[in-house]
C-alpha cells in the first residue's frame, strides 16, 4: 500500500507561500502570518514578484529562485497563475501543495476544464495537492497553521477532515472557548486531487489523533470510503455530519427500492455499516468528537448523575434512557455513605441532587469521588459546579450591600480553586462529563476545559455525548465480518439477461425475474406462465387451488390497483373470469402468471439500487402495500456479510415482527438473510441490473418466500 500523500503535506520541513505581501488586509498575508506566528519551526519562503522582504522574511521572485525545493507550496493567487506556478514548483521538485485559490470547478464548465488541466500538470510531476478552493490545514503537533485565524497554542487530540473551510478556521475562536483543540485539521475544498477518504485514512494512521470528525457534503468514492472507515472504527472513533441528503437531492427509481433510496438514506446506511457515529449538527460534531477524543472508553451502561438542581438531573436521566444508558438506583450502602454529606431533603438514590447546595468541596470532589469509587457506575455526569461565574452574575445585586467593593475583591469570596477537582477522571479512569450554564469565564469551567474534561452548555448535550461513548462501545464490540466469496455466474441467469437485452427490454418480467433468483437459491413462489385461459387452468390444476393470477409483462412494472392481479382464485369458473378481466384491464393480450396463493401475515421487502461512486445498495424493510407509507427501511452496500444483515434487521422499527409475535413463530432469519445477501451478490455479478425489488417477501409460517419480484435493467441512451 502506497504512503498516504498527506503524511508529507501535513509535516513539511519547508514551505513556500505565494500570495503573501506586506499589506495586512490581504488573505495571503493573513495566512502567512498564521504560519509565522503560531509556532511553526520549519523554513518559510515567501514568493513575491517585487517585494524583497515579506513579513520580515527574504522574498523570492519565482520558484526557480528559491534556495531549495520546498516540501510544500501554498498558493493564494489569482486563478490564471495557479497552473503555471504548479508547473514551476513541479520542475524544481516540490511534491506537495495547498491551493487556496477558488474559481475552478465550482464555477462551471470552464472552471472544471481548468481544474482538469491543473491535475494533469500535477500528475506529470508526481505532485499531490489539497484544494483548490480550500482554507488550508492545521497540524498542532508541529504548530503549523495555514488558515486565516490563530489556532490554540496547545496541541489537540481531535482530527478533522472537512469539505467546508469555514468549519476548519472560522470555528477556531468558538472551539477555543469550549476547550476543543484539533490534532490535525484539513480543509479539502474541491478535492481535485486529495479527497476526504485520503484525509480519513491519514487521520486513522495519526497517533496524535484520538478521535476523528468529518464534515461531508458528498463522497465520490463510496466503496473506498467504506473500506477505509471499516479499518479505522474498530480502534478509533469516527463521527460524521452529512448535509447533502435533502429531498431535492434524492433520485427517483423505477422500482419501489430505487424511489425510496435518496442520498440521506444511503449515507445513513453507509455510516452504520462503517461504524461511524452520525452527528445531527456541527455543534454536536465538535462536542461529541471531543468527548470521544478525551474520555476513556466506557465499560458499561451505568451512569451516575450529580447535580445541584432537580431539572438538570431529570433531563440528563431522561436522555440517558433514550440513548440506551441506565441510571441505576444506588445500593443502600452507597446511599448511606452519600447521605452523610447531604442536607436531609436531598436525594442520594441517583441522580444525587444537592438542591442548590453550592459548596464546591461536596459537589465537585467529595460525593463524585464516593460515586466513582463505588463500582456501581461506568460513567458520570456532573452539573452545577460554579464559582466566579456565579459571583459575577450576583455582584450587581450585592455590590451595595458589600460596601461597593470592586468586582475583583468580590470574586475573592469564592476562595481558591481546588485542583483535585480535575484529577478525578484520571484517578478513576471512567468518562466524566460536565454540564454547566457558566462558560469559560467561570474558574471551574476553565479548569475543566484546561484539563481536557468536556463541558457542555446544556444538560441534555452532556447526556447525548455520553450516549456517543456508549454507541462507540457497541461498535467496537461488533461481531467481525466474514465476507463470503461471490458465487459463480449462472449460465441460465446470464441467458435470461442476455435475451432481455436483445429484446431491448427495460426490465425482466416477474416470471423471468424469479427464474433468475431461483438460479441462486432464492425461494420463490410455485408458478407457471400461461398465454391462454386453457394453459392457466392446467397450471392451476398442477399447482393447486387457491391461486393468484397476475399480468406478466416487463412493460408492466407495477400492477397493484390496476386490475391486473387476482388473489384467492378458488376454482375454474373464477379463474376463467379473472383471466378475462386481466386481459381487458391490460388493454391487449398479455401473458398471465398463475401462482400459488401464499398465506402469511408478515410481509417484508428487499432490493438493490445503484448509486454513482458507491455501487449497489441493498435495501431491507417492511413490505407490502403500505411500503411507501411506513417507509421502514434500511440500507447497506453490497457485498454483505451475515452480520451486516443482522444489523439491518435491528435497524427497522418493525423488527419485532421477525420474532415470535402474537402466535406467529419466529421468522427463519437465516433464510431471510440469505435472500438479502444473495440479491447483493447478484447485483455485483450482473452490472446490467440497475434495480431489484422483492416486495413482498411473504413469511409463510416462519419461512420467507419471494411473492413478487421486479428486476430493472440498466438503461443506456
Domains in the chain, CATH or no CATH each: 6-209 (3.40.50.720), 295-476 (3.40.50.261), 526-595 (3.30.1490.20), 602-713 (3.30.470.20)
Integer Cα distance of 456 and 290 in angstroms: 11
Integer Cα distance of 652 and 620 in angstroms: 8
Of 678, 397, 701, 289, the C-alpha closest to 516 is 678
Average pLDDT, the chain: 94
pLDDT digits (tens, 9 = 90+) for 365-417: 999 999 999 999 999 999 999 999 999 999 999 999 989 999 999 999 888 99
Beta bridge partners of 212: 159, 238
Across 272-285, average pLDDT: 97
Across 475-501, average pLDDT: 95
Integer Cα distance of 359 and 355 in angstroms: 11
Q: Do the beta carbons of residue 391 and residue 411 sit within 8 Å?
A: yes
| 137-146, 238-247, 406-415, 561-570, range with greatest mean pLDDT | 137-146
Q: Which DSSP string corresponds to 310-365? A: HHHHHHHHHHHHHTT-B-PPPPHHHHHHHHTTS-TTSB-SSSEE-SS---HIIIII
At 568, give phi and psi (nearest 5°). 55, 45
What is the b/e burial string over 313-347, where b = at least 16 CB atoms within 10 angstroms of the residue's CB?
bebbbebbeebebbbeebeeebbebbeebbeeebb
Tell the burial category of 600 from Cβ atoms under 10 Å away from its Cβ (0-12, 13-18, 19+): middle
Residue 490, classed as helix, strand or coil, is coil
Q: Which residue in the block uniquely carries the three cell numbers 453490497?
A: 638
Indicate if the pLDDT at residue 504 is higher than 50. yes
**Rounded percentage of the chain residues whose pLDDT exceeds 70:** 96
User: Who wins on pLDDT, 521 or 562?
Assistant: 521
Across 638-644, average pLDDT: 96
Say what the pTM is: 0.93
**Rounded percentage of the chain residues whose pLDDT exceeds 90:** 87
| pLDDT for position 717 | 44
Tell the burial category of 490 from Cβ atoms under 10 Å away from its Cβ (0-12, 13-18, 19+): middle
Q: Do the beta carbons of residue 210 and residue 183 sit within 8 Å?
A: yes
Q: How far is CA 447 from the centre of its chain?
A: 32
Confidence of residue 261 (pLDDT cuts 50, 70, 90): very low
C-alpha cell at 69: 525545493
Across 190-213, average pLDDT: 97
Indicate if the pLDDT at residue 483 is higher than 90. no
DSSP 151: P
Of 678, 650, 711, 681, the C-alpha closest to 258 is 711
pLDDT digits (tens, 9 = 90+) for 124-168: 999 999 999 999 999 999 999 999 999 998 999 999 999 999 999
C-alpha cell at 265: 438514506
Q: What's the count of helices (H) and strands (E) in the chain, helices before strands? A: 27, 30
At 52, give phi and psi (nearest 5°). -85, -30
pLDDT digits (tens, 9 = 90+) for 83-123: 999 999 999 999 999 999 999 998 899 999 999 999 999 99
pLDDT digits (tens, 9 = 90+) for 58-75: 999 999 999 999 999 999
Of 40, 168, 14, 153, the C-alpha closest to 100 is 168
Confidence of residue 598 (pLDDT cuts 50, 70, 90): very high
Confidence of residue 309 (pLDDT cuts 50, 70, 90): confident
Tell the burial category of 476 from Cβ atoms under 10 Å away from its Cβ (0-12, 13-18, 19+): middle
At 278, give phi and psi (nearest 5°). -90, 135
Helix/strand/coil (H/E/C) assignment for every residue in 69-97: CCCEEEECCCHHHHHHHHHHHHHHCCCEE
Across 464-468, average pLDDT: 98
Amino acid at each position: 500500500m502506497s504512503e498516504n500523500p498527506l503524511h508529507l503535506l501535513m509535516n513539511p520541513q519547508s514551505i513556500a507561500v505565494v500570495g503573501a505581501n506586506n499589506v495586512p488586509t490581504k488573505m495571503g498575508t493573513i495566512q502567512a502570518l498564521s504560519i509565522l506566528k503560531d509556532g511553526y519551526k520549519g523554513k518559510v519562503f515567501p514568493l513575491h514578484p517585487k517585494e524583497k522582504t515579506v513579513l520580515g522574511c527574504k522574498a523570492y521572485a519565482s520558484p526557480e529562485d528559491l534556495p531549495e525545493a520546498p516540501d510544500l507550496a501554498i498558493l493564494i493567487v489569482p486563478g490564471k497563475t495557479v497552473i503555471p506556478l504548479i508547473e514551476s514548483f513541479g520542475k524544481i521538485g516540490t511534491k506537495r501543495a495547498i491551493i487556496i485559490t477558488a474559481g475552478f470547478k465550482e464555477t462551471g464548465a470552464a472552471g472544471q476544464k481548468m481544474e482538469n488541466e491543473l491535475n494533469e500538470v500535477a500528475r506529470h510531476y508526481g505532485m499531490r495537492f489539497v484544494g483548490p478552493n480550500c482554507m488550508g490545514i492545521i497540524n498542532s503537533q508541529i504548530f503549523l497553521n495555514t488558515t486565516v485565524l490563530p489556532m490554540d497554542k496547545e496541541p489537540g487530540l481531535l482530527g478533522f477532515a472537512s469539505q467546508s473551510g469555514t468549519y476548519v478556521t472560522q470555528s477556531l475562536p468558538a472551539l477555543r472557548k469550549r476547550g476543543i483543540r484539533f490534532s490535525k485539521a484539513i480543509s479539502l475544498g474541491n478535492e481535485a486531487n486529495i479527497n476526504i477518504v485520503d484525509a480519513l485514512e491519514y487521520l486513522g494512521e495519526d497517533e496524535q489523533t484520538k478521535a476523528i470528525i468529518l464534515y461531508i457534503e458528498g463522497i465520490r468514492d463510496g466503496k473506498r470510503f467504506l473500506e477505509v472507515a471499516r479499518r479505522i472504527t474498530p480502534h478509533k472513533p469516527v463521527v460524521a455530519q452529512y448535509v447533502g441528503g435533502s429531498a431535492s437531492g434524492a433520485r427517483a427509481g423505477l422500482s419501489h427500492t430505487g424511489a425510496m433510496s435518496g442520498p440521506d438514506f444511503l449515507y445513513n446506511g453507509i455510516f452504520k455499516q462503517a461504524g461511524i457515529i452520525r452527528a445531527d449538527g456541527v455543534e454536536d460534531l465538535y462536542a461529541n468528537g471531543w468527548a470521544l477524543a478525551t474520555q476513556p472508553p466506557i465499560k458499561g451502561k451505568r451512569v451516575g448523575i450529580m447535580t445541584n438542581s432537580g431539572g438538570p438531573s431529570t433531563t440528563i436521566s431522561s436522555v440517558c434512557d433514550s440513548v440506551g444508558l441506565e441510571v441505576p438506583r444506588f445500593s443502600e450502602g452507597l446511599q448511606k455513605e452519600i447521605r452523610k454529606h447531604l442536607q436531609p431533603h436531598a436525594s442520594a438514590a441517583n441522580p444525587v441532587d444537592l438542591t442548590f447546595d453550592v459548596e464546591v468541596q461536596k459537589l465537585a470532589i467529595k460525593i463524585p469521588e464516593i460515586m466513582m469509587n463505588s463500582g456501581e457506575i461506568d460513567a458520570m455526569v456532573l452539573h452545577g459546579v460554579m464559582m466566579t461565574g456565579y459571583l459575577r452574575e450576583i455582584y450587581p445585586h450585592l455590590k451595595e450591600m458589600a460596601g461597593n467593593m470592586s468586582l475583583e475583591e468580590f470574586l475573592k469570596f469564592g476562595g481558591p480553586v481546588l485542583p483535585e477537582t480535575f484529577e478525578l477522571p484520571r484517578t478513576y479512569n471512567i468518562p466524566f462529563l460536565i454540564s454547566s450554564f457558566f462558560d469559560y469565564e467561570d474558574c471551574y469551567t476553565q479548569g475543566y476545559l484546561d484539563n481536557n474534561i468536556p463541558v457542555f452548555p446544556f444538560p441534555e448535550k452532556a447526556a447525548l455525548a455520553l450516549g456517543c461513548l456508549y454507541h462507540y462501545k457497541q461498535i467496537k464490540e461488533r461481531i467481525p465480518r466474514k465476507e463470503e466469496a461471490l458465487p459463480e455466474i449462472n449460465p441460465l441467469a446470464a441467458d435470461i439477461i442476455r435475451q432481455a437485452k436483445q429484446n431491448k427490454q427495460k426490465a425482466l418480467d416477474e416470471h423471468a425475474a424469479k427464474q433468475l433468483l431461483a438460479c441462486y437459491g432464492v425461494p420463490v413462489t410455485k408458478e407457471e406462465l400461461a398465454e391462454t385461459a386453457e394453459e392457466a387452468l392446467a397450471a392451476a390444476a398442477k399447482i393447486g387451488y387457491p391461486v393468484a393470477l397476475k399480468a406478466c409483462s416487463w412493460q408492466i412494472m407495477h400492477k397493484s390497483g390496476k386490475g391486473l392481479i387476482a388473489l384467492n382464485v378458488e376454482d375454474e369458473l373464477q379463474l376463467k373470469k379473472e383471466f378475462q378481466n386481466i386481459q381487458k384491464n391490460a388493454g391487449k393480450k398479455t401473458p398471465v402468471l398463475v401462482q400459488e396463493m401464499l398465506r402469511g401475515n408478515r410481509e417484508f421487502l428487499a432490493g438493490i439500487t445503484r448509486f454513482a461512486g458507491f455501487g449497489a445498495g441493498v435495501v431491507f424493510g417492511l413490505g407490502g402495500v403500505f411500503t411507501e407509507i411506513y417507509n421502514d427501511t434500511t440500507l447497506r452496500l453490497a457485498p454483505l456479510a451475515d452480520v451486516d444483515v443482522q444489523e439491518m434487521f435491528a435497524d427497522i422499527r418493525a423488527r419485532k415482527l421477525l420474532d415470535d409475535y402474537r402466535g406467529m413463530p419466529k421468522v427463519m432469519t437465516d433464510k431471510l438473510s440469505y435472500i438479502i445477501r444473495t440479491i447483493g451478490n447478484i447485483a455485483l455479478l450482473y452490472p446490467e441490473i440497475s434495480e431489484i425489488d422483492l416486495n413482498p417477501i411473504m413469511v409463510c409460517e416462519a419461512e420467507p418466500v419471494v411473492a413478487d419480484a421486479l428486476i430493472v435493467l440498466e438503461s443506456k441512451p
